Amino acid sequence: MTDTATTMRHVPADLPERIQHYIDGEFVDSIDGDTFDVLEPVTNEVYVKAAAGKKADIERAVAAARRAFTEGPWPKMLPRERSRVLHRIADIVESRDARLAELESFDSGLPITQALGQARRAAENFRFFADLIVAQADDTFKVPGRQINYVNRKPIGVAGLITPWNTPFMLESWKLGPALATGNTVVLKPAEFTPLSASLWAGIFEEAGLPRGVFNLVNGLGEDAGDALVKHPDVPLISFTGESRTGQIIFGNAAPFLKGLSMELGGKSPAIVFADADLEAAVDATIFGVFSLNGERCTAGSRILVQRDVYDEFVERYAAQAKRVKVGYPHDPETEVGALVHPEHYEKVMSYVEIGKSEGRLVAGGGQPEGFAFGNFVAPTVFADVSPDARIFQEEIFGPVVAITPFDTDEDALELANNTKYGLAAYVWTNDLKRAHNFAQAVEAGMVWLNSNNVRDLRTPFGGVKASGLGHEGGYRSIDFYTDQQAVHITLGKVHNPTFGKVGGSAH
């Protein structure tokens, strides 16, 4: 660690002296007093200690959430009343976007301009679900003169929300918005690498008028706090975003309780560039698609498949542009790639960079960028001529590292695109309309973007297939996940029952 790093890093004013849990309307320490260190990623120095939640802290939080669900007003409020609270939350988040972004950037290493976009998206998530619950209509089915059948939606109870360290505040809002909108109470377990912005929710919710006990937050390690939340018998729902291996563990631990699960897991998403594509747009989009958010994004197009006719030109243009991507301090508005979140993750990404040097042709990056030989900085790294059996082709790296592979025919492209255990997203670049739609249907991915980077409409389902997830959230799919649907049947005409045991006759 250099003196330059210490003097150049930006430390936000008024950082908390410690990060606590928030349970039943109060900030509290862990019952056993345990804490863990939180590092900032430019220098990897400890800047705060956070309460380390264990089973006892989760039990306390779940009890508060359960009490707020059974005795409190929140689940019984009219949708319009809950909507007003959610809109106030969105207003407060929007009004504090600069502060949120500053803390998020400092804690996670995200470039400040991208962190600002995440803060605004968090507000929009609340606004979207505030509107949706008021506009929502449930099904009614009529048999004229005979029967009406209608559907009641009811909140389920305590929702357990487990969120990742990449874009933490926005991804927390993505779960909190629909869970609260539908009348549930929640226990949030944020990622241990990035607890700073999550600690702001309590004040935002209090100011917006969310009743006490509806929102609870327990910090801690996944194997302690997360595990206890998944195994708690009074938590019927778990929404998890994170890596696939952790998802498998959660699946197993939730099975004895038959919990509702929504899991958005890892990805190794392909971007397929055909020879007839707009090459300049494709290069721009695929650069952004893997290097934005420091490459720490589940939907990153981290495998680029390029038709052989334009392969050499594409690789040359891509490598040249990747070298121009500005790596810098997270707080600098000019920065396009900041620092990776944590030294553990940095070591993982760098190990893949070294593996890649024997699996592909290094055409950009490959180490720490000039002037940043400290902290968790990685130069945007590009490998060309990568074989489909290479580890950097098959395994999720979750950093600013991309593998480029040539293909000849549409069939080759599809085979390569589907040749991993993951299936979260896919990006297709072609000006052939028929090919675009047929390829989109055949590719094994929960979401496909045609001639587009990752621009998401909140009304659409978000989720993956294969090892990339279970279930979908977004729009009405979120409403479905966070509510029980109860069918009610009413007979309008004469009751027609088969009569068993009738005196003097047989059943009819």
Q: Are 366 and 401 in contact (CB under 8 A)?
A: no
Identify the residue whose tokens are 């950082």.
Answer: 15
Cα–Cα nearest to 68, from 28, 137, 22:
22
> 184, 69 in Cβ contact below 8 A?
yes
Strand partners, 260: 237
> Is-catalytic flag, 298?
yes
Rounded CA-CA distance 473/479 in Å is 8
Q: What is the CA radius of gyration of the chain?
A: 25
User: Which of 334, 342, 331 lies closest to 378 in space, CA to CA?
Assistant: 342
Yes or no: say if 377 and 294 are a contact pair by the CB < 8 Å rule: no
How many Cβ atoms are within 10 Å of 258's Cβ, its own excluded?
A: 8
Strands 26-28 and 35-40 come out as: unpaired
Which one is catalytic: 102, 264, 336, 444? 264
Residue from 102, 104, 298, 396 carrying the catalytic annotation: 298
The enclosing H or E element of 186 equals strand 185-189
Rounded to whole angstroms, how far apart are CA atoms 227 and 250? 8
On the 0-12 / 13-18 / 19+ scale of CB atoms within 10 A, 173 is buried
* Residue 300 token pair: 């990153």
**Which residue shows structure tokens 């960079």?**
353
Q: Are 273 and 304 in contact (CB under 8 A)?
A: yes
CA 239 to CA 219: how far, in whole Å? 16
Please identify which residue in the block is written with the tokens 């869970």: 179
Spatial distance between the Cα atoms of 199 and 205, rounded to a whole number of angstroms: 11
Q: Which of 392, 399, 395 is nearest to 376 (CA)?
A: 399
Which neighbouring-strand residues pair with 493? none
DSSP codes, 32-50: T--EEEEEETTTTEEEEEE
Sequence-ordered alpha helix ranges (H) in 235-362: 244-254, 279-291, 308-324, 343-356
Q: How far is CA 128 from CA 89, 90, 119, 205, in A?
A: 12, 9, 14, 17
- Given a contact cutoff of 8 angstroms between Cβ atoms, the answer to whether 23 and 57 are in contact is yes
Pairing of strands 425-429, 447-450: parallel
Active site residue 172: no
Which residues does the annotation mark as catalytic? 264, 298
